Amino acid sequence: MEELAEKVGCTPEFQGDTSDFRQAACTTEATRYMLLDFDTDEKKRAWLDTALIYGATYLVGERWVVTSLEVADMERLRGEVGGTLEGDPTMQH
């Protein structure tokens, strides 16, 4: 999580720590992100499959997920941290 936040350019504000994942809000000058990291890719996939039902777009990497209010922010971030975009870009949080 800390490594991902550093790449995003923010300090994570942890909002929960479950047995499956950690979640943190992360704010830059440009936008606010929600960062999640998972113990395994299987746990990430299970969380993401459920989240995708509710819409929105997620930047997905190995054992991590990032979301933001704007798809453009995640597209820009993808160039820096990698990953793939999954979801429906017409549905925003």
pLDDT at 18: 81
pLDDT higher than threshold 80 for residue 71: yes
Q: Does residue 11 lie in a domain region?
A: yes
Q: Does residue 91 lie in a domain region?
A: no
- Answer whether 68's CB lies under 8 Å from 42's CB: no
pLDDT higher than threshold 90 for residue 20: no
What is the DSSP-derived secondary structure letter of residue 10?
A: S
Q: Does residue 74 lie in a domain region?
A: yes
pLDDT at 55: 84
Domain with 68 in it: 2-29+43-83
Mean pLDDT of 72-92: 85
Percent of the chain with pLDDT over 70: 92
Selection from 42, 51, 44 nearest residue 22 by Cα: 44
Total number of domains constituting the chain: 1
pTM for the full model?
0.88
